[in-house]
């Protein structure tokens, strides 16, 4: 048995793949501890794992939505946080860990791990070419701050963000088909990694023989963007009836929503419980939801937020014929309804989604990723 330290932060969809990996490591007899920000403790302890904070980094994490918005605040608090280096140093000094897996966007931690004698790997929770395409938005936003912290740590500057991953075995929780830059990305695509979750106990309000198609809508479970408008526009798209509609709101307050009779609104539901029954999925186009929908052969209607990997993933799903990408900020209820009808009524969308489901099912997955980590330590 080996001890593994998994470094993470609360980016919503980045945590599920790390938990899936942890579950497979634990099933193989390894001891897994998560390290991250204080607000994450309950999530990981609920999943059955030990948790230790990164106290210096956490001290700079906003306690409330910052005036400048979450994305600028996350640059110094998480992505280019020099305090992560001292926290990682302290964690590794107690001798409890034989290996480390770091989230791909924790560049302060990665700078420290470059010089560590303890083997380390990187987990990329999305398609690299969607998350950090060289020269594009993430590079432009983060490279100056990342290179400043690397200079302070005595590490060379990066030309591209993903160059920070190259010193390590890098596991991408995606398939090459979803990455427009897969041919340029020198990393291992192990496929989407889905957290195993206990049954929710939820019972659908519709009879089992209800002939109406089921549309599932879910937008980010994090707080980086206010998804209220996307949720309400999707509800309004079917206010006159039509399909059954199930919407999950995540951390958003659902109290003021106008909910039509054919719709049900929940805070959260495991993907595996509902997506096998979905005729279509309306989503912000985060990687976790896109991958889960396609893994179940459900075409997507994407309302991406204007940052991160979402616009590229929305366009990729559409380009593969497995969905329709709309303007997430401006699409009106009529456009959303028309897109949903199209992906349901035109069988080519379901066929393309099912083709991608086959590719996802054939990917190595979290069991193979855990095996790769064991080989990193020489356990196998």
pLDDT given at position 221? 59
The lowest-confidence range among 191-195, 217-221, 276-280 is: 217-221
DSSP string, 300-333: EEE---SSTTHHHHHHHHHHTTSEEE--TTT--H
Reference 121, options 365, 373, 367, 371; nearest CA is 373
Express each pLDDT in 303-350 by its tens digit. 998 878 999 999 999 999 999 999 999 999 999 999 999 999 999 999
Q: How confident is the model at residue 379 (pLDDT cuts 50, 70, 90)?
A: low
pLDDT given at position 268? 85
The structure tokens 């479970």 sit at: 221
Query: 218: which residues sit within 8 A by CB, 6+ positions away?
Result: 247, 248, 250, 281, 282, 283, 284, 289
Average confidence (pLDDT) over 118-134: 97
Which residue intervals of the chain are DSSP H helices? 15-27, 41-46, 55-58, 70-74, 83-93, 107-113, 128-131, 137-152, 228-237, 271-274, 287-295, 310-319, 333-345, 347-362, 365-377
Express each pLDDT in 218-246 by its tens digit. 987 565 566 889 999 999 999 988 899 99
Q: How far are the Cα atoms of 234, 241, 270 from residue 267, in angstroms, in the given order?
A: 16, 22, 11
Q: Classify the phi-psi angles of 135: left when phi > 0, otherwise alpha if psi is within -120 to 50, otherwise beta.
A: left
- Helix, strand, coil in percent for the chain, rounding step 5: 40, 15, 45
Measured CA to CA, the distance from residue 357 to residue 276 in angstroms comes to 11
Would you say residue 184 has pLDDT above 80? Answer: yes
Would you say residue 380 has pLDDT above 60? Answer: no
272-285 burial by CB neighbour count: b if 16+ within 10 A, else e? bebbeebbbbbbbb
Measured CA to CA, the distance from residue 16 to residue 23 in angstroms comes to 10
188 beta partners: 171
Domains with residue ranges and CATH for the chain? 3-192+363-377 (3.40.50.2000), 214-361 (3.40.50.2000)
DSSP at 205: S
With pLDDT > 70 as the criterion, what percentage of the chain qualifies? 97
Q: Is 323 or 67 the better-scoring residue by pLDDT?
A: 323
- Total-model pTM: 0.94
Average confidence (pLDDT) over 53-73: 83
DSSP element (H, E) containing 266: strand 263-266
């Amino acid at each position: 048995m080996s001890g593994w330290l998994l470094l993470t932060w609360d980016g919503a969809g980045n945590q599920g793949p790390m938990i899936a990996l942890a579950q497979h490591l634990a099933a193989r007899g390894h001891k897994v501890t998560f390290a991250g920000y204080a607000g994450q403790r309950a999530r990981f302890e609920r999943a059955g794992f030990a948790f230790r904070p990164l106290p210096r980094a956490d001290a700079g994490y906003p306690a409330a939505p910052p005036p400048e918005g979450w994305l600028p605040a996350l640059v110094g608090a998480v992505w280019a946080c020099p305090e992560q280096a001292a926290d990682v140093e302290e964690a590794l000094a107690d001798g409890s860990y034989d290996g480390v897996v770091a989230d791909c966007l924790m560049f302060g931690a990665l700078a420290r791990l470059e010089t560590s004698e303890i083997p380390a790997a990187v987990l990329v929770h999305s398609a690299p070419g969607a998350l950090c395409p060289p020269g594009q938005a993430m590079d432009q936003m983060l490279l100056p701050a990342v290179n400043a912290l690397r200079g302070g740590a005595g590490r060379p500057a990066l030309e591209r963000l993903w160059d920070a991953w190259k010193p390590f075995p890098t596991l991408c929780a995606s398939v090459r088909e979803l990455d427009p830059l897969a041919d340029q990305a020198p990393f291992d695509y192990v496929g989407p990694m889905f957290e195993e979750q206990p049954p929710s106990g939820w019972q659908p309000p519709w009879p089992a023989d209800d002939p109406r198609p089921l549309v599932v809508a879910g937008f980010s479970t994090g707080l980086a963007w206010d998804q209220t408008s996307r949720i309400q526009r999707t509800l309004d798209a079917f206010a006159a009836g039509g399909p059954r509609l199930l919407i999950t709101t995540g951390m958003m307050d659902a109290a003021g929503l106008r909910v039509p009779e054919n719709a049900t609104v929940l805070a959260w539901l495991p993907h595996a419980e509902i997506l096998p029954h979905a005729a279509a999925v309306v989503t912000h186009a985060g990687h976790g939801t896109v991958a889960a929908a396609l893994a179940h052969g459900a075409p997507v209607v994407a309302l991406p937020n204007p940052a991160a990997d979402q616009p590229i993933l929305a366009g990729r799903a559409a380009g593969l014929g497995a969905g329709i990408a709309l303007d997430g900020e401006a699409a009106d209820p009529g456009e959303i309804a028309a897109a949903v009808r199209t992906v349901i009524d035109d069988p080519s969308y379901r066929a393309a989604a099912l083709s991608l489901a086959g590719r996802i099912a054939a990917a190595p997955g979290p069991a193979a990723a855990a095996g790769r980590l064991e080989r990193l330590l020489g356990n196998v």
